[in-house]
Amino acid sequence: MEKETIYFDNAASSRMDERVLEAMKPYFFDVYTVATSEFGYSLGIEAREALDNARTKILSSLGSPKGKLIFTSGSTESSNIAIKGVVRKLSGKKRKHIIVSRIEDFPVLNSAKSLEREGFKVTYLGVDKYGFVDPDELKDSINEETILVSVQHANQEIGTIQDIKAIAEICKKNSVVFHSDATHSFGRVPLDLRELDVDLLTASAHTIHGPKGIGALYVKEGVPLAKWIDGGFQEFDFRAGVENIPGAVGFTKTIELITEEENERIKDMRDNLIEKIQREIPDTTLNGHPKKRIPQNANITFHYVEGESITLHLDMKGFAVSTGSACFSKSLEASHVILGIGGDHERAHGSVRFTFGRFNKKDDVDKMVEALGEIVLKLREISPLKGEKAR
Amino acid sequence: MKFPYNEKVLEHFRNPRNVGSIENSDGKSTEGSPACGDMVSVYIKVDKGTKKIEDIKFESYGCASNIATGSIITELAKGKTLEEAKKIDWKEASDALGGLPKIKTHCSVLAVDGLRAAIANYEEKHGLIKERVPTTKEIVLKRLRHVMNPLAGLDLVRTNLIDNVKVENGTIDVSVSLPEDHQFATNIREEILEKLENLWDVDKVVVRFTV
């Protein structure tokens, strides 16, 4: 690479912190064994202890709630286990219904769709213009057939933070299992599971400067969950396979490195970006809620232009971002999140997501806004829409 | 650095040729829509004697391959007679750009369609349609292949949304398998009307939503 990329796509994945790698290294080269039972050999016992410590530390970052922490390959797997594992355990002739929000990320959404194809009924809860689920609508959607509700903690694209406390209470009152995908809030927003009565929670490390290939699923004590992978009894006999101990240790280190100051700094940079764009570039829309959003996320539509053209121009200038445009997505479909909050296709196609991380610098924001201003102007000059709207 | 397009495409994307609109153009067209994610307008100025395209301009609301194709077709068409310009197809445009990703076919086809539609617009306006072919179901379907299904990003015919087409006494009746109150019903209706209303022997186009 000729020059360093100014990276604003941390929600997709992020640069790992070297200190995380240092923490992981001994578990590749020194304590490289499997985690044996307590009657195994010394190295295996050491590996076991490292794994148990990692579990305890991650649980303590969630307020040490009563429950298990299962390590997985990432948040996609965690959400799959949560939804399909609970359904498999609890479904019956009269219990065939689950509820998810319409703007969930693909692991939850497509798990729901796959269950739908198997004959389950799925309610896709609508959201308001900011992306909030209406608790009353949720209440009305729950019936005696309902097994599980899955509503994310924070949205992957527009960053909206749901009131999962209210949602958890409704689920509890109605004896329905509640899963929440916290992939995009974990580490950046305080999460105390003793206060939030969540039954299952999805988290991962790679978007907050941890390793790829490690995720976690928190399972509250007593929540029924079917076994996910058969094999050698690992992960409380839910998910067999040699444990990813370097990953688990790296995950723990990832959490240790995040500070409140860092989250504040990220939020300041993010606020600065939104403010500058709104001041310097006309005809934009902020997607999501102005305040109730994760600190690292900004999502803005630049009207009359298409997102892939913006991202490509930015890329040629050394910036990385993502867009909700159909042309950028693998399915050639416009962002279901922007459509879900009532936006039209034009708003989705022109939307750009900026997600901050530890390695962003303050002046990255100025550079970004300057580049964006030029690009959006250039693209609007050749757009037939601009004139149409003006008329 | 690794970009998703070749250098030639990127060059046209960075510096598109013949951008803008032509006031008092002799022929113009708009293909696509904001809903399908790409939209291109083409304007032509035609020499009445030689029937050569004297000037051509385009505007694009679209991705890189849409912009680059718009740019290259204006270069290819400029100075050509209408008959020659009609023969420019997607393959020629794509070859001139050194190749485009397959998945982006839709976006670039749109620009080629834009050129053809602008020429057709000129011919319709100037009474140059030589053989007045009566409109048939096949002709209607061919035109409907240029109306995108915003749900899929592919055309209505290919995504099986066209239930039935009837052509009778100057009226075209199109049934679309979507509910009347569907999010895109209005948009699809408008696009269908736009594509069919200009046919020389058509007085009326009826669009029904049948689900």
pLDDT for res A389: 47
Q: Chain A: residue nearest B149 by CA? A: A333
Tell me the average pLDDT across A145-154.
98
- A167 or A390, which is more confident: A167
Q: Is B59 on the interface with A (CB under 8 A)?
A: yes
The answer to the question of residue A51 being in a domain is: yes
Least confident of A268-277, B13-22, B187-196: B187-196
Reported as a pLDDT band with limits 50, 70 and 90, residue A166 is very high
Average of per-residue pLDDT values in chain B? 87
CA distance B4 to chain A (A): 9
Is there a catalytic annotation at residue B63?
Answer: no
pLDDT, tens digit (0-9, with 9 covering 90-100), for A17-34? 999 999 999 999 999 999
pTM above 0.80, yes or no: yes
User: In A, residues 324-363, which contact B (CB 8 Å cutoff)?
Assistant: 325-328, 332-334, 344-346, 349
Is the Cβ pair B153, A332 closer than 8 Å? yes
Pairing of strands A177-181, A200-204: parallel
Q: How do residues A188-236 score in pLDDT, each as one tens digit?
A: 999 999 999 999 999 999 999 999 999 999 999 999 999 999 998 899 9
Give mean pLDDT, residues B5-14: 94
pLDDT in tens, A172-181: 999 999 999 9
* Beta-carbon separation of A308 and B63 below 8 A: yes
DSSP calls for B61-108:
ES-HHHHHHHHHHHHHHTT-BHHHHHT--HHHHHHHTT---GGGHHHH
Beta carbons of B37 and A326 less than 8 Å apart: yes
Whether chain A has a CB inside 8 Å of the CB on B134: the answer is no
Do A173 and A226 lie in one domain? The reply is: yes
pLDDT in tens, A243-263: 999 999 999 999 999 999 999
Residue A323 clears pLDDT 70, i.e. is over it: yes
Last residue of a domain, one of B69, B93, B125: B125
Given a contact cutoff of 8 angstroms between Cβ atoms, the answer to whether B28 and B41 are in contact is yes
Instruction: Please judge whether B20 and A308 are an interchain contact, meaning their C-beta atoms are less than 8 angstroms apart.
Output: no
pLDDT at B90: 83
Largest Cα–Cα distance in chain B? Answer: 60
Domain membership of residue A3 (yes or no) is: no
Domain boundary among B125, B150, B181: B125
**How many separate domains does chain A show?**
2
Whether the CB-CB separation of A255 and A17 falls below 8 Å is answered with: no
The per-residue pLDDT for range A344-376, each reduced to its tens digit, is 888 999 999 999 999 999 999 999 999 999 999
Based on the domain organization, do A227 and A92 belong to the same domain? yes
Residues A348, A320 share a domain: yes
pLDDT top residue among A38 and A5: A5
| CA distance between the termini of chain A | 45
CB atoms within 10 A of CB B61: 30
Helix boundaries (H) for chain B: 7-14, 64-77, 82-86, 90-96, 105-125, 137-144, 185-196
Share of chain B above pLDDT 90, in %: 51
Give yes or no: residues A251 and A329 share one domain: no
Partners of residue B167 on adjacent β-strands: B172
- Is B36 labeled as catalytic in the residue annotation? yes
Interface of A with B in 1-60 (CB under 8 A): 1-2
Co-location of B161 and B111 in the same domain:
no
Both B175 and B121 in a single domain?
no
Is the CB of B118 inside 8 Å of chain A's CB atoms? Answer: no
Contact A345 B35 (CB under 8 A): yes
ipTM: 0.85
Q: pLDDT tens digits, residue range A43-93?
A: 999 999 999 999 999 999 999 999 999 999 999 999 999 999 999 999 988
Q: CA-to-CA distance for A345 and A339, rounded, in angstroms?
A: 7
Query: Is residue B181 pLDDT above 80, yes or no?
Result: no
